[in-house]
A = this chain, B = another copy of it.
Amino acid sequence: MTPRSPRPRDRGIPEATVARLPVYLRALQGMAERGTLTVSSEDLASIAGVNSAKLRKDLSHLGSYGTRGVGYDVDYLVYQISRELGLTQDWTVAIAGVGNLGRALANYGGFGTRGFRIAALFDADRRVVGDEVAGLVVRHIDTLEDVVGSEGVSIGVIATPAVSAQGVCDRFVEAGVTSVLNFAPVVLNVPPAVDVRKVDLSIELQILAFHEQRKADGQAPPEAGWIDATEKT
């Protein structure tokens, strides 16, 4: 059954909306810094690069925070979106893998303007362990369980080589981490209660290549064509 959940408001915000809220938030924070007090859906949408109707529908999922004829109060909207995204509390993050990517992440100042605290950096390479990166001492990966437990890490970032990723992920999960951000080019296996998001540099490039090829196809005369192996060897 469960005809109506007993919750006051239907908290079912669409995934697509959730993915755009951080974009709106960043745009709004920029406006707030510049002293803008209110903004219309039209203006904010144009800055965020989306359709204004979509923006309004997205925001309507959080509640009716706009004023008709005027627009949205910038500061208030920043607060509401932050709250919805869970940025009014601090999340503790640990990064595994201190190569160039791990360093880039560790130094990514402010990390989305507050909300995230990097508590630890891990690496398996003894030559790196002990180094100071972004104000933190790199720890050996074997201390992962201890540190995750004592620091209360809830988000694990994997910036290791592909072969180590699943192993590190398992250790994160075992230690109690329930969200993982994966930069390694592998599909991670996790229990259903754990969220994984993947960022894959080469996948993005390949998608661009696909569209790039399309453009070239359209402009070139249809003669050439691909050398198509009709035979399977």
Contact = CB atoms under 8 A, between A and B. Distances in A.
Interface string A1-40: 0000001000100000011011101110000000000000
A150 interface: no
Count of chain copies:
2
A193 B21 CA distance: 27
Contact of A207 (B18, B208, B209): B18
A115 interface: yes
Given A18-B207, A209-B87, A199 B199 contact: yes
A142 B217 CA distance: 32
A149 interface: no
Closest 4 CB pairs of A and B: A86-B213, A112-B202, A100-B104, A101-B104
Interface of A: 7, 11, 18-19, 21-23, 25-27, 47-49, 73, 75-76, 79, 83-89, 91, 93, 99-101, 103-105, 107-108, 111-112, 115-116, 154-155, 178-181, 185, 187, 193, 195, 197, 199-215, 217, 222, 226, 229, 232-233
